[in-house]
Structure 1
Amino acid sequence: MRKTHTGESPYSLAFGTEAVLPPEVIFPMLRTACVRPLLCSRPEPHCVDSLDAVGGCFFDSCWRRSSYHYNLAHRTKAIQERFDRIARERHDLGLQVSGGINQLQITERPQTSSLEDDLKVLGREEDREALISMLLSSNNSSHNVTVLPIIGMGGLGKTTLAKSVYNDHRIKQHFQLRMWVCVSENFDETRLTKETLESATREFSTTTTNMNLIQEDLFEQLKGKRFLLVLDDVWNEDPIKWHRYRNAIIGGERGSKILVTTRNENVGRIMGGWPPGKRMEDIGSSYFDELVSRSFFQSHKGYYVMHDAIHDLAQSLSGEECHRLECDLKNVGLEKKIRHLSFSCPRSMATSVESFFKFKKLHSLLLLKGYISRTGGIPDELFLRLRCLRVLKLCRRDIEELPNSIGSLIQLRYLDLTGTCIRTLPQSISKLYNLQTLILNYCNFLSEIPRGITNLIHLRHLEATSTLISGIAGLRRLTCLQELKRFIVRKDSGFKITELQDMNELRRHLCIQNLENVVNRKEASEANLHAKEHLSFLSLEWTEDRDLVLEDEILCQEEVLEALRPHHELRELTVMGYAGTRLPSWIGNSSFCYMETIHLSNLMRCKHLPPLGQLPLLRYLDIGGMPGLVRIGQEFSGTGDIKGFPSLIELVLEDLPALEEWVCSDDDELLPCLTDLGIADCSKLRALPCLPPTIKRLRISGVGLTTLPDLRGSNCLLSSLNVHDCPNLTSLQRGLLGQQLKAIEQLAITVCEELILLPPQGFKDLVSLKSLTIYNCPKLVPLEDDKGLLPRSLTDLRIGSCSKLINRLLADTKDLASLKNLRVTDCADLHRFPEEGLPTALESLGVLGCDNLLLLPAKLQELHSLKSMVIGNCHQVRWSPDEGLPMELKELCVYGCPLLKEYCLGKCSAHPQSTV
């Protein structure tokens, strides 16, 4: 009786591999056969010189095509015969196909409800507001119903966040109907439809299991209503099940939303629409991430390494197909079975290229080190013998040229020439029709890329300098290209912006420069930016250094920018050097609900800002170089359902020399998340609006303020304030320094030459203040009362060019037990330090440019923590004969003090690190 095998025998697996591998040769040949006619049917204009040339190409092409197809058919038939033979042997051996993977038993997970717990949720306010903004925003898709997923690992609070949003009063007012359904792991369409119907009607449905009747009833209940449906804890990755359930809920009014909580990103992607075709890069990345998470690979100094034991295991499992050879190639003995080979050995044992000729079935060849090119190139014969190569890595500085035979590697997918000294690429490289990745990083001698590179219509990644890539004419043919960091527009054929028309696989970053070369709106619209859904960052740049821009060109630029509307899922936008007087309607449109960052720079004639406050997820906004902007009005904050910059964290306004007014409403919901605000070079701006209490860092420089702004509320979070070069600022009595700033730790007021009055209580109420800098405020005077000006929390004090204030501040330092650093510069009214001496915790002391200072601080020898002291350009200062230096002093630097020189030279022996 014959024994039945349920597993795979090593014999059958190896034999099967030998048979399966040849189709990997056939499929590229099939694809090449399809690509060749396409390339021949659309020749470049400059490639056809005469009718004779066309005729010659035609007959030559026909003969080659016939031969190519005959060879292809013959090899395909041979593979079929090998599969038939394997099938017969499987039958003779009694091998059976495995029964498949057993289904895991699904355990019931606890049900959830929409009712909130009594416990208060902390730390999710920003996420909550952003999610509410997205739910309240208008739809951007062609469907009435939009899906918003909340994705994260278990225990992060996805359901809690969904409950908080579901029960918000704004959500209750906005949606006519709210429904909550706990899905869990068992995605049963009939059950879910019934539970959704029950949630919509607040009635228990009948016991019918007729899916059609239930769906019709649910469809009628939702028809014409704007609803919110929360599907909690979804695990299903089957798009067919989702779409069967979805059929009943698509009849809601436009603006309806489905909020999904899930642990799986694929679930959110599937429920947002039909699952898009996955890129091989995404699949490979997910596999790699999985291996990293399981410690198969380990991160090490920017690389990934493999533990010795794991390496041995991987080498064992890879069998005879993968080899890493370090020296001798002569006695390998597996030439016919090795598919992937990396070669590396010491230079003293280097080998010649002929040693690789015998590996005729190689799919991957990585020449890392140890191969010496005697001629600076690679012989033709290598690539003529290794025709199965799919991956080729030649990262060697001694390689100066490639042979024409590289064009015979029709299966090549990946070619890496990083760091080689190649000066030109052979024209035959344009025959690598299946090439998907070409890496030319650090090829410093390479001056251009062959014109025929655009024949590589399957190319997905081209890594080279922007200079090399910008010299390629006709990029429009590379429709699979996924990376194009910079595109420089020219008026020449092959370099116009229309080259981007069908390049809709571009992702991540795209910078389009020299947009002044776009001649009209039609040409700009043909760039088809709105269809490039994978782009995250887009920069639109005009040349900025042109002195004269005609009126017609201004109008043209306005039309061009209007036509360059990107996809609504763009996350970051930069507009630079634009000469129009107005920005396009799409900037600030609430349909761009994923926009996170906007930079507007050097818009020399722009007079108005768009309603950027209605972008729900905008977090960073930088506006600068707009000399025509006079007023920022309430329209800047938006007027729709979403307004007031609900997610903005950082706002920078700089180089706005004509700005006179910034008007904001007193709405408490304005800028609810703002933490960083920078205002610079706005010399005509006299006042700032009332700022939100969330502000943590405020920078004001070169602004015409007469008073500092106020902060809304009493619980202010301001921790850092820098005020610089405000020539109209005369008093700190009003504004935020007159409020209770219990969180502020750093304060700097510099180059405010008209500033006279300190805050009402000085700085002593700033109970958390650690660093205080006051520089070049010569008119600033102390308060009349005798109370202290400085808080006890201060650790760093820097005073400069404040002659009227210096003596009072130094007198207050006696009570500063935490002061570690003290620096005094350019104070002409300073004659002596306080007799009480300086705080004993002081670690660093600097006195510079105080021309009228007569004596150094008293009791220096008692400052046992002092480690560094610098005295410079104090021409009259002397050392008291009774004073000495603390033994703990490690650094003493004295310069420009002639009366101290002799004394200090005598002290140098005790302080070897000192400099006089």
Structure 2
Amino acid sequence: MDIGLAVGSAFLSSALNVLFDRLAPQGDLLNMFQKRTDDVQLFEKLGNILLGLQIVLSDAENKQASNQFVSQWLNKLQSAVDGAENLIEQVNYEALRLKVEGQLQNLAETSSQQVSDGFFLNIKDKLEGTIKKLEVLEKQIGRLGLKDHFVSTKQETRTPSTSLVDDSDIFGRQNDIEDLIDRLISEDASGKKLTVVPIVGMGGLGKTTLVKAVYNDEKVKEHFVLKAWFCVSEAYDAFRITKGLLQEIGSFDLKADDNLNQLQVKLKESLKEKKFLIVLDDVWNDNYNEWDDLRNVFVQGDIGSKVIVTTRKASVALMMGSEAINMGTLSDEASWDLFKRHSLENRDPKEHPELEEIGKQIADKCKGLPLALKALAGVLRCKSEVDEWRDILRSEIWELPSCLNGILPALMLSYNDLPAHLKQCFAYCAIYPKDYQFRKDQVIHLWIANGLVHQLHSGNQYFLELRSRSLFEMASESSERDIEEFLMHDLVNDLAQIASSNLCIRLEENKGSHMLEQCRHMSYSIGQDGDFEKLKSLFKSEQLRTLLPINIQLYYYNIQLSKRVLHNILPRLSSLRALSLSRYEIVELPNHLFIELKLLRFLDISWTKIKRLPDSICVLYNLETLLLSDCDFLEELPLLMEKLMNLRHLDISNTCRLKMPLHLSKLKSLQVLMGAMFLLGSLKMEDLGEVHNLYGSVSVLELQTVVDRREAVKAKLREKNHVDKLSLEWSESSSADNSQTERDILDELCPHKNIKEVKITGYRGTNFSNWLADPLFLKLVQLSIDNCKNCYSLPALGQLHCLKFLSIRGMHGITEVTEEFYGSLSSKKPFNSLVELRFEDMPEWKQWHVLGSGEFPILKNLSIINCPEVSLETPIQLSCLKRFEVSGCPKVGDVFDDAQLFRSQLEGMKQIVELCISDCNSVTSFPFSILPTTLETIMISGCKKLKLEVPVGEMSYCNMLIEELSLEECDCIDDISPELLPRARTLNVSNCHNLTRVLIPFATESLFIRNCENVEKLSVACGGTQITSLSIQGCEKLKWLPERMQELLPSLKTLQLYDCPEIESFPDGGLPFNLHILVIDNCKKLVNSLKEWCLQRLPCLNWLDIYHDGSDEEIVGGENWELPSSIQRLSIWNLKTLSSQHLKSLTSLQSLCIEGNLPQIQSMLEQGQFSHFTLLQSLQILNFPNLQSLPESALPSSLSKLRIFDCPNLQSLPVKGMPSSLSIYKCPLLKPLLEFDKGEYWPNIAQFPTIYIDRECM
């Protein structure tokens, strides 16, 4: 069966269901037409035709692979049904509009009054046209041989697995095999008679192969008295399983009565008091009652009996109640070994080096999935030509005809096993790119918006079912960030693409016009140039239902969306159900946008800079989900939002300027409100208590206005079971009259046990409520306590077993962190899950009591900031610590002066990677010589008494090598040389005001010296250095660069000099020949010696920036003031010495930026001489006050980007010769000519991919 088209019927089914729902006899839509009998009959006729078509869908799906005419018929049906759905939705929108306007009593009557006859006539014409299209398709049913067919619940059978294994076919699983063998033959300490070992993983990972190898291991054979293997497969049949196991152990009597009870009794007797190993392979059924019945057969075995279960469904493993083994993919080496075994078995790879090279790339593409590796290797086994292998490499493996015939049965089975409602949900996820991490909530809301799912609860169930089948997997870093993100294995993603049958596409991968016309759901990668060029092709996508930008490149700022997209393209997509504009820097939306997109059900404007929503958003009567989180500038919501009668989900999390609007209570359908912020004073605690649809984060501000416990009770926070983030805030300017009252109030603000994050700010009591340390908060992962200045003790937080992030800040009353902080000791170590701990701004804290009982066993980040009295004299055992930060803690700084104490502290930090010390003036020395070898980064700043000294008894630190060393604001450092510091690949030195001498260490590759104004000498150690990048800034007394640079700095590629006014010249012999990048900024004396630079001798120089103040004199190029022809990027600011002759010699120039009133350059522009730069791609013209025009021939045809800034008298541009990317800023005479949709130049530039006018993306 061609799965590439099979899903079509699933999408069709969802569209048909929507239509049947709208055409219900008592629905609002038909009520509108009650007085128009002919129209009602047309709607009824449409419903009957659709019903007849729905009945044959399943048969058409089964026949499409073998009959291209059926396949074409299904495509036409998809288009016709989509058209019918759009038409019906438009009519339904009118019905909703009438409802909203309050005309509910008699919809038929009011429709005659409120809706024009023209509307009804137009709908009638379209309805008749739609019916005609469907009737044509209906008449073809008989000719195509399609029959009424309902989906059978019978599942396909596959060839069952056996216990036989080819040992030579096992690669990269030796550790897994040994681990599983150890688990099988080790005795359970509790004396369990039966242990179940579930092995979970997506299809094709080799679960069965792994178990086969273990099952046939000699140690396993000797350990167990009885062994049995049975392949359960999809259709769970207890009778078949029992009979099969009896056959395996040799106890089945063919003459016995086929009675399940008798068979199970016999199996139980056969296993009694025997140590057995049973393998149940490929289990799909997660019905606990059925499993429990089968488990009871096994419980009479001897101690140490084991049952191995392989499954793709996590729910099966959970049901078994034992710790599962999660199968991973193969390593690159094992993948290639397996691939080579099957593709080049009869050929010597050394004799076919090209095949081996391509084969490794193909194997890598399989991402360690054994089944895919074997399948592709099998295809290539009979192919000997390089081109044949290369074709496979460049093609999607699923498009090969042979792959449709069972080569990848695991993935096909995973898909084919899905019921129709899961098929369409899975196929929809083809809009996500490979390796993209998506969030469950977004996926579910998109499903709902497109009619694939009706309720949030159902969507959750569908998602979990797809995950349990290993089609979705949690991203590995999700648990660390406590953010649940998921992805699809690349091969599963390919499967989804094929399953979606071009209805769900990624724009960058499907640019053909037929694709755009056919697709219904689309994603695209966000760019940085407004995305007009990318999205202008959507004019062809009139049937598009989903448009989703994907932030693959992780741009987080300055992502603009073209005004042409907002005003001209998006309004044309009138069929959209789901639209995201998230992360674009949108300040305002055009009012007409939502008037055109009236079928929207999902709208995401989160992470934008929008200040207010257009009033037209209130006419989105179908809107179900509105996401406004992290809109920092959003101040208010439209007053008529109550018109959004279908709005179910509203997210206003982290919209700091938006307070809880009272009129949201009028949204009658609202089920989920996330991120509500209750500002007490304008609101009361009972207002909070009466809102029952709170989800996600909730903030309660100005809690000092709460009088007593009775008022706090009214908030009913314990009942808010869907709130997972709670912020409680008291005004810092307030003071409490009664500490006990404050404690009583906090007692009643206890959240539900589902809470994940709690933040308490400005609490005015002297001690905290007990609920903060309640170990029953099993989901609490993050806790912040800020500015609770009256508290004299910390809560006993150590037994919050899931707590990962803890921040304690501004606790002015704390003098000790005592044993109480760790909580009552139990079998679990205190803070057993804590990953990050931060103490900050605690001026009276003096002592930290350490238990020494293994507390903080997995802590990775520890920060102690602005705690001037605390000391760390007692070593803390933090064996997993990666980063240690100390700032503003002079007594902690004493530790670094005491080598013995420092050593004892470091002994407990065996994995330390980064050490940051700042503002610790007590530090006078630093024991570099005893640093652990794991350390990669050291950052020291604001330690004004720190001196660098050679350690006693040692010559240098030459044996140490770290990645980065940073020294900032260390005023006692006057000399930097190799014997004083450990070797560091990157060395940063800044604001060390008494530093006078720097000797560049040999091992340093990048050196940055900033704002060390007393540095007078920069030199290189004998023997030279490996340095590749040297950057010097703000060294006002530095006069010379290192001597013999060509000889001693042979690897230097980048040289940057900023604000070094005393440097007069480069050293004798010139700069290193290998130099690629040279930047000179505000080095006046050096620029004045320009003629002596001899840059023409640098054959590798391709990047030159010179920023000057214009004090040089305009001259004609001399013998020594020449530029090498290798320069590709040139930026010149206010350098009058630059002449037209210099520029003309740059035959390789690709990017040019010129700034300042440079007459010769202006003359070149006005005379069109820039057209000679045949390779020039980017041109920036800045601050040319006298430039008035650019002639038609001014610009080269190669130019793709033109940026013109601060040219106040420029009044014309070369209309015909302009590049495709144009940026104009502060050019007042040009601005009217370039005005959006109105300017004289606009028709000429309207199709340019990128246009910026005064930094607004057009």
What is residue 642 of structure 2 aligned with on the other side?
Answer: 453
Deviation per CA, 1:802-849, whole angstroms, max 9, x where unpaired? 96x977xx6xx58x4323455678999988778976834445274966
Please identify which structure carries the higher helix content.
2
- Deviation of residue 769 (structure 1)? 2.4
Distance between the aligned counterparts of 2:587 and 2:1080, measured in 1?
Answer: 52
Write the mapping of 1:139-538 to structure 2, written as runs, cut at 5 A: 155=205, 185=233, 235-236=283-284, 241-245=287-291, 263-264=312-313, 277-279=458-460, 294-295=496-497, 304-305=506-507, 307-308=509-510, 312=514, 400=591, 413=601, 425=615, 432=621, 435-438=623-626, 448-450=637-639, 453=642, 456=645, 459-461=648-650, 470-473=660-663, 475=665, 480-492=670-682, 496-498=686-688, 501-503=691-693, 506-507=695-696, 509-517=697-705, 521=709, 524=712, 527=715, 529-530=717-718, 535=723, 537-538=724-725
Distance between the aligned counterparts of 1:869 and 1:248, measured in 2?
Answer: 75
Q: Is the 8 A contact 1:765 1:791 kept in 2?
A: yes
State the secondary structure of the residue aligned to 1:575.
Answer: strand
**1:909 pairs with 2:1089:** no
**1:742 pairs with 2:933:** yes
Distance between the aligned counterparts of 2:804 and 2:1031, measured in 1?
Answer: 41
- Deviation of residue 767 (structure 1)? 1.7
Distance between the aligned counterparts of 2:240 and 2:716, measured in 1?
Answer: 40
Distance between the aligned counterparts of 1:476 and 1:90, measured in 2?
Answer: 50
Calculate the TM-score normalised by the size of structure 2: 0.45
**1:752 pairs with 2:943:** yes
Counterpart of 2:911, as a letter, is L
- Deviation of residue 601 (structure 1)? 2.7
- Deviation of residue 652 (structure 1)? 2.3
Once the two structures are overlaid, the 10-residue window that deviates more, 525-534 or 694-703, is: 525-534
Q: Is the 8 A contact 1:232 1:262 kept in 2?
A: no
Counterpart of 1:666, as a letter, is G
Q: Is the 8 A contact 1:863 1:886 kept in 2?
A: no
What is residue 921 of structure 2 aligned with on the other side?
Answer: 727
Distance between the aligned counterparts of 1:835 and 1:16, measured in 2?
Answer: 74
Q: Is the 8 A contact 2:721 2:752 kept in 1?
A: no
Q: Is the 8 A contact 1:588 1:610 kept in 2?
A: yes
Counterpart of 1:661, as a letter, is Q
Equivalent of 2:1068, from 884, 889, 897? Answer: 884
Counterpart of 2:157, as a letter, is Q
Distance between the aligned counterparts of 2:665 and 2:279, measured in 1?
Answer: 45
Alpha-carbon distance change, 247 to 514 in structure 1, aligned in 2, over 3 angstroms: farther
**1:701 pairs with 2:701:** no
- Deviation of residue 436 (structure 1)? 1.8
Distance between the aligned counterparts of 1:588 and 1:181, measured in 2?
Answer: 49
Q: Is the 8 A contact 2:659 2:679 kept in 1?
A: no
Once the two structures are overlaid, the 10-residue window that deviates more, 393-402 or 577-586, is: 393-402
- Deviation of residue 636 (structure 1)? 3.1
Distance between the aligned counterparts of 1:625 and 1:806, measured in 2?
Answer: 40
Distance between the aligned counterparts of 1:420 and 1:873, measured in 2?
Answer: 43
State the secondary structure of the residue aligned to 1:771.
Answer: strand
What is residue 361 of structure 1 aligned with on the other side?
Answer: none
Q: Is the 8 A contact 1:519 1:556 kept in 2?
A: no
Counterpart of 1:652, as a letter, is R
Counterpart of 1:450, as a letter, is L
- Deviation of residue 700 (structure 1)? 1.2
- Deviation of residue 447 (structure 1)? 5.6
**1:98 pairs with 2:286:** no
Counterpart of 2:649, as a letter, is R
Q: Is the 8 A contact 1:724 1:751 kept in 2?
A: yes
Distance between the aligned counterparts of 1:393 and 1:892, measured in 2?
Answer: 42
Distance between the aligned counterparts of 2:516 and 2:950, measured in 1?
Answer: 71
Write the mapping of 1:551-700 to structure 2, written as runs, cut at 5 A: 551=738, 554-562=742-750, 564-567=751-754, 570=756, 572-638=757-823, 639-667=825-853, 669-687=854-872, 689-700=875-886
Deviation per CA, 1:604-632, whole angstroms, max 9, x where unpaired? 33333334443444333333222222222
Counterpart of 1:546, as a letter, is S
Distance between the aligned counterparts of 1:826 and 1:63, measured in 2?
Answer: 79
- Deviation of residue 862 (structure 1)? 3.7
Alpha-carbon distance change, 905 to 618 in structure 1, aligned in 2, over 3 angstroms: same
Distance between the aligned counterparts of 1:799 and 1:89, measured in 2?
Answer: 80
Structure 1 runs not aligned, ≥5 long: 41-56, 69-82, 125-135, 137-146, 162-179, 199-203, 219-229, 253-257, 319-324, 333-337, 344-366, 379-385
What is residue 737 of structure 2 aligned with on the other side?
Answer: 550
Q: Is the 8 A contact 1:854 1:878 kept in 2?
A: yes
State the secondary structure of the residue aligned to 2:459.
Answer: coil
Alpha-carbon distance change, 670 to 160 in structure 1, aligned in 2, over 3 angstroms: farther
- Deviation of residue 474 (structure 1)? 5.4
Alpha-carbon distance change, 545 to 468 in structure 1, aligned in 2, over 3 angstroms: closer
- Deviation of residue 372 (structure 1)? 12
- Deviation of residue 183 (structure 1)? 9.5
Counterpart of 2:960, as a letter, is V
State the secondary structure of the residue aligned to 2:915.
Answer: strand
Q: Is the 8 A contact 1:758 1:780 kept in 2?
A: no
Distance between the aligned counterparts of 2:851 and 2:986, measured in 1?
Answer: 39
Calculate the TM-score normalised by the size of structure 1: 0.58
What is residue 960 of structure 2 aligned with on the other side?
Answer: 767
Alpha-carbon distance change, 760 to 604 in structure 1, aligned in 2, over 3 angstroms: farther
What is residue 176 of structure 1 aligned with on the other side?
Answer: none
- Deviation of residue 707 (structure 1)? 0.8
Q: Is the 8 A contact 1:618 1:645 kept in 2?
A: yes
Alpha-carbon distance change, 61 to 495 in structure 1, aligned in 2, over 3 angstroms: farther
Alpha-carbon distance change, 821 to 457 in structure 1, aligned in 2, over 3 angstroms: closer
- Deviation of residue 682 (structure 1)? 0.9
Distance between the aligned counterparts of 2:163 and 2:1044, measured in 1?
Answer: 74
Q: Is the 8 A contact 1:590 1:615 kept in 2?
A: yes
State the secondary structure of the residue aligned to 1:749.
Answer: strand
Deviation per CA, 1:306-346, whole angstroms, max 9, x where unpaired? 7558873685699xxxxxx999x9xx9xxxxx988999xxx
Counterpart of 1:312, as a letter, is H
What is residue 44 of structure 1 aligned with on the other side?
Answer: none
Once the two structures are overlaid, the 10-residue window that deviates more, 580-589 or 521-530, is: 521-530
- Deviation of residue 718 (structure 1)? 2.4
Deviation per CA, 1:97-126, whole angstroms, max 9, x where unpaired? 3364552225555789xxxx997689x9xx
Counterpart of 2:1068, as a letter, is G
Aligned residues: 735
- Deviation of residue 544 (structure 1)? 4.0
Alpha-carbon distance change, 501 to 788 in structure 1, aligned in 2, over 3 angstroms: same
Counterpart of 2:987, as a letter, is D
State the secondary structure of the residue aligned to 2:1092.
Answer: helix
Distance between the aligned counterparts of 2:1085 and 2:618, measured in 1?
Answer: 80
Q: Is the 8 A contact 2:238 2:294 kept in 1?
A: no
- Deviation of residue 579 (structure 1)? 3.1
Counterpart of 2:789, as a letter, is M
Distance between the aligned counterparts of 1:902 and 1:21, measured in 2?
Answer: 74
State the secondary structure of the residue aligned to 1:484.
Answer: strand
Alpha-carbon distance change, 546 to 845 in structure 1, aligned in 2, over 3 angstroms: closer
Counterpart of 1:683, as a letter, is P
Alpha-carbon distance change, 429 to 309 in structure 1, aligned in 2, over 3 angstroms: closer
Alpha-carbon distance change, 63 to 315 in structure 1, aligned in 2, over 3 angstroms: closer
Q: Is the 8 A contact 2:647 2:667 kept in 1?
A: no
